[in-house]
Structure 1
Amino acid sequence: MPWWSWIIIWIALIALSLLFMLFLGWRIWRGVSATARTFSDVSAEREAYWEQSLERARVEHVTEPRTVVPGSAIFATPEEMKDDYLAAKEERRFARLQRRVARRKERGQLQSLRDIEALQDVG
Protein backbone atom coordinates (compact mmCIF):
# COMPACT_ATOMS: atom_id res chain seq x y z
CA MET A 1 0.00 0.00 0.00
CA PRO A 2 1.39 3.40 -0.90
CA TRP A 3 1.92 6.02 1.78
CA TRP A 4 -0.89 8.31 0.56
CA SER A 5 -3.51 5.56 1.10
CA TRP A 6 -2.92 5.86 4.87
CA ILE A 7 -3.71 9.57 4.66
CA ILE A 8 -6.96 8.84 2.81
CA ILE A 9 -7.90 6.14 5.36
CA TRP A 10 -7.27 8.51 8.28
CA ILE A 11 -9.20 11.33 6.63
CA ALA A 12 -12.11 8.95 6.01
CA LEU A 13 -12.01 7.71 9.64
CA ILE A 14 -11.96 11.26 11.00
CA ALA A 15 -14.80 12.28 8.66
CA LEU A 16 -16.90 9.28 9.72
CA SER A 17 -16.23 9.93 13.40
CA LEU A 18 -17.27 13.58 12.95
CA LEU A 19 -20.44 12.49 11.16
CA PHE A 20 -21.17 10.03 13.97
CA MET A 21 -20.63 12.77 16.58
CA LEU A 22 -22.95 15.08 14.63
CA PHE A 23 -25.55 12.32 14.52
CA LEU A 24 -25.26 11.73 18.29
CA GLY A 25 -25.42 15.48 18.93
CA TRP A 26 -28.55 15.73 16.80
CA ARG A 27 -30.21 12.87 18.70
CA ILE A 28 -29.29 14.41 22.05
CA TRP A 29 -30.62 17.80 20.91
CA ARG A 30 -33.92 16.24 19.82
CA GLY A 31 -34.22 14.40 23.13
CA VAL A 32 -33.48 17.53 25.16
CA SER A 33 -35.89 19.65 23.13
CA ALA A 34 -38.64 17.02 23.49
CA THR A 35 -38.01 16.89 27.24
CA ALA A 36 -38.12 20.69 27.47
CA ARG A 37 -41.34 20.80 25.45
CA THR A 38 -42.92 18.17 27.70
CA PHE A 39 -41.73 20.02 30.79
CA SER A 40 -43.25 23.23 29.44
CA ASP A 41 -46.59 21.52 28.75
CA VAL A 42 -46.70 19.87 32.16
CA SER A 43 -45.75 23.09 33.94
CA ALA A 44 -48.52 24.93 32.07
CA GLU A 45 -51.02 22.27 33.15
CA ARG A 46 -49.78 22.42 36.74
CA GLU A 47 -49.97 26.22 36.69
CA ALA A 48 -53.57 26.10 35.45
CA TYR A 49 -54.44 23.53 38.13
CA TRP A 50 -52.71 25.64 40.77
CA GLU A 51 -54.62 28.75 39.68
CA GLN A 52 -57.92 26.84 39.83
CA SER A 53 -56.99 25.52 43.25
CA LEU A 54 -56.15 29.00 44.53
CA GLU A 55 -59.37 30.40 43.08
CA ARG A 56 -61.37 27.63 44.76
CA ALA A 57 -59.57 28.33 48.02
CA ARG A 58 -60.36 32.03 47.73
CA VAL A 59 -64.02 31.29 47.04
CA GLU A 60 -64.32 28.70 49.81
CA HIS A 61 -62.40 30.75 52.38
CA VAL A 62 -64.97 33.07 53.83
CA THR A 63 -63.74 35.44 56.48
CA GLU A 64 -66.34 35.85 59.14
CA PRO A 65 -66.48 38.95 61.29
CA ARG A 66 -64.97 38.53 64.70
CA THR A 67 -67.44 37.93 67.47
CA VAL A 68 -64.79 37.96 70.16
CA VAL A 69 -62.87 41.06 71.10
CA PRO A 70 -59.11 40.48 71.08
CA GLY A 71 -57.77 40.27 74.61
CA SER A 72 -61.06 39.15 76.13
CA ALA A 73 -59.55 35.75 76.92
CA ILE A 74 -57.80 37.31 79.89
CA PHE A 75 -61.12 37.78 81.64
CA ALA A 76 -62.64 34.42 80.62
CA THR A 77 -62.66 31.41 82.88
CA PRO A 78 -60.47 28.43 82.00
CA GLU A 79 -63.58 26.33 81.39
CA GLU A 80 -64.90 28.83 78.84
CA MET A 81 -61.52 28.93 77.11
CA LYS A 82 -61.34 25.15 76.99
CA ASP A 83 -64.87 24.95 75.58
CA ASP A 84 -64.01 27.58 72.94
CA TYR A 85 -60.81 25.73 72.08
CA LEU A 86 -62.57 22.37 71.75
CA ALA A 87 -65.37 23.89 69.66
CA ALA A 88 -62.87 25.55 67.30
CA LYS A 89 -60.88 22.33 67.14
CA GLU A 90 -64.00 20.40 66.15
CA GLU A 91 -64.87 23.02 63.51
CA ARG A 92 -61.36 22.75 62.02
CA ARG A 93 -61.56 18.95 62.02
CA PHE A 94 -64.93 19.01 60.28
CA ALA A 95 -63.69 21.56 57.72
CA ARG A 96 -60.70 19.29 56.96
CA LEU A 97 -63.08 16.35 56.61
CA GLN A 98 -65.27 18.27 54.16
CA ARG A 99 -62.24 19.39 52.12
CA ARG A 100 -60.91 15.82 52.02
CA VAL A 101 -64.25 14.42 50.85
CA ALA A 102 -64.62 17.16 48.22
CA ARG A 103 -61.06 16.63 47.00
CA ARG A 104 -61.53 12.87 46.67
CA LYS A 105 -64.87 13.36 44.93
CA GLU A 106 -63.29 15.83 42.50
CA ARG A 107 -60.45 13.42 41.70
CA GLY A 108 -62.81 10.46 41.34
CA GLN A 109 -61.21 8.58 44.22
CA LEU A 110 -62.99 6.27 46.61
CA GLN A 111 -64.15 7.73 49.90
CA SER A 112 -63.01 6.17 53.14
CA LEU A 113 -65.66 4.56 55.28
CA ARG A 114 -64.56 6.67 58.24
CA ASP A 115 -65.27 9.88 56.30
CA ILE A 116 -68.66 8.66 55.09
CA GLU A 117 -69.71 7.67 58.61
CA ALA A 118 -68.48 10.98 60.04
CA LEU A 119 -70.52 12.93 57.50
CA GLN A 120 -73.61 10.82 58.19
CA ASP A 121 -73.23 11.39 61.94
CA VAL A 122 -73.13 15.15 61.46
CA GLY A 123 -75.72 15.52 58.72
Structure 2
Amino acid sequence: MPWWFWILLWAVLLVGTAAAAVGGGFWLVRKALRVVRDAGGVLTRLPGPSVMDSAAQGDGDGASAPGSAVFADPDEMRREYERGKAERRTARIARRVARRAQRGQAQSLRDLGLI
Protein backbone atom coordinates (compact mmCIF):
# COMPACT_ATOMS: atom_id res chain seq x y z
CA MET A 1 0.00 0.00 0.00
CA PRO A 2 1.29 3.46 -0.78
CA TRP A 3 2.30 5.81 2.01
CA TRP A 4 -0.44 8.34 1.22
CA PHE A 5 -3.10 5.66 1.92
CA TRP A 6 -2.09 5.52 5.58
CA ILE A 7 -2.25 9.30 5.87
CA LEU A 8 -5.68 9.30 4.25
CA LEU A 9 -6.87 6.44 6.48
CA TRP A 10 -5.74 8.19 9.69
CA ALA A 11 -7.22 11.48 8.52
CA VAL A 12 -10.60 9.81 7.90
CA LEU A 13 -10.45 8.06 11.29
CA LEU A 14 -9.61 11.31 13.10
CA VAL A 15 -12.35 13.25 11.29
CA GLY A 16 -14.85 10.48 12.06
CA THR A 17 -13.86 10.46 15.73
CA ALA A 18 -14.15 14.25 15.93
CA ALA A 19 -17.57 14.14 14.23
CA ALA A 20 -18.77 11.47 16.67
CA ALA A 21 -17.47 13.52 19.63
CA VAL A 22 -19.20 16.68 18.38
CA GLY A 23 -22.44 14.79 17.69
CA GLY A 24 -22.32 13.17 21.11
CA GLY A 25 -21.65 16.55 22.69
CA PHE A 26 -24.67 18.10 21.00
CA TRP A 27 -26.82 15.15 22.04
CA LEU A 28 -25.62 15.42 25.63
CA VAL A 29 -26.24 19.18 25.76
CA ARG A 30 -29.77 18.75 24.38
CA LYS A 31 -30.52 16.05 26.97
CA ALA A 32 -29.13 18.22 29.76
CA LEU A 33 -31.21 21.20 28.67
CA ARG A 34 -34.32 19.01 28.54
CA VAL A 35 -33.64 17.78 32.09
CA VAL A 36 -33.14 21.34 33.33
CA ARG A 37 -36.34 22.47 31.60
CA ASP A 38 -38.32 19.58 33.12
CA ALA A 39 -36.79 20.18 36.53
CA GLY A 40 -37.78 23.83 36.30
CA GLY A 41 -41.39 22.79 35.74
CA VAL A 42 -41.25 20.50 38.75
CA LEU A 43 -39.62 23.12 40.95
CA THR A 44 -42.33 25.67 40.19
CA ARG A 45 -44.98 23.22 41.42
CA LEU A 46 -43.32 22.65 44.81
CA PRO A 47 -45.04 24.19 47.82
CA GLY A 48 -43.69 27.44 49.14
CA PRO A 49 -41.57 27.81 52.28
CA SER A 50 -44.55 28.62 54.50
CA VAL A 51 -46.15 25.25 53.73
CA MET A 52 -42.85 23.46 54.28
CA ASP A 53 -42.25 25.24 57.61
CA SER A 54 -45.69 24.31 58.94
CA ALA A 55 -45.20 20.69 57.83
CA ALA A 56 -41.81 20.55 59.53
CA GLN A 57 -43.36 21.55 62.86
CA GLY A 58 -45.71 18.57 62.84
CA ASP A 59 -49.36 18.37 61.97
CA GLY A 60 -50.63 18.32 65.53
CA ASP A 61 -51.06 14.56 65.91
CA GLY A 62 -48.10 14.21 68.25
CA ALA A 63 -45.59 13.48 65.50
CA SER A 64 -42.21 15.07 66.00
CA ALA A 65 -40.64 17.32 63.41
CA PRO A 66 -38.42 15.68 60.81
CA GLY A 67 -34.80 15.59 61.91
CA SER A 68 -35.60 15.92 65.60
CA ALA A 69 -34.38 12.37 66.23
CA VAL A 70 -30.81 13.49 65.67
CA PHE A 71 -30.67 15.36 68.96
CA ALA A 72 -33.22 13.29 70.90
CA ASP A 73 -32.53 10.76 73.62
CA PRO A 74 -31.98 7.32 72.02
CA ASP A 75 -34.08 5.57 74.67
CA GLU A 76 -36.96 7.97 74.08
CA MET A 77 -36.73 7.44 70.33
CA ARG A 78 -36.71 3.65 70.84
CA ARG A 79 -39.86 3.87 73.00
CA GLU A 80 -41.55 6.09 70.38
CA TYR A 81 -40.59 3.63 67.64
CA GLU A 82 -41.91 0.65 69.63
CA ARG A 83 -45.14 2.51 70.45
CA GLY A 84 -45.70 3.39 66.78
CA LYS A 85 -44.90 -0.17 65.78
CA ALA A 86 -47.46 -1.54 68.25
CA GLU A 87 -50.08 0.97 67.03
CA ARG A 88 -49.50 -0.01 63.41
CA ARG A 89 -49.72 -3.70 64.31
CA THR A 90 -53.01 -3.33 66.20
CA ALA A 91 -54.45 -1.21 63.38
CA ARG A 92 -53.41 -3.86 60.85
CA ILE A 93 -55.00 -6.62 62.96
CA ALA A 94 -58.20 -4.57 63.33
CA ARG A 95 -58.38 -4.06 59.56
CA ARG A 96 -57.82 -7.79 59.00
CA VAL A 97 -60.53 -8.76 61.50
CA ALA A 98 -62.98 -6.29 59.94
CA ARG A 99 -62.18 -7.47 56.43
CA ARG A 100 -62.60 -11.13 57.35
CA ALA A 101 -65.84 -10.41 59.19
CA GLN A 102 -67.16 -8.52 56.16
CA ARG A 103 -66.29 -11.40 53.84
CA GLY A 104 -67.61 -14.05 56.23
CA GLN A 105 -64.22 -15.71 56.55
CA ALA A 106 -62.93 -17.57 59.59
CA GLN A 107 -61.09 -15.42 62.11
CA SER A 108 -57.69 -16.21 63.53
CA LEU A 109 -57.82 -16.83 67.26
CA ARG A 110 -54.59 -14.88 67.63
CA ASP A 111 -56.17 -11.87 65.86
CA LEU A 112 -59.12 -12.02 68.25
CA GLY A 113 -56.80 -12.15 71.26
CA LEU A 114 -57.95 -15.58 72.40
CA ILE A 115 -54.51 -17.15 72.27
Report the TM-score when normalising by structure 1. 0.42
Greater CA radius of gyration, 1 or 2? 1
| Higher helix proportion | 1
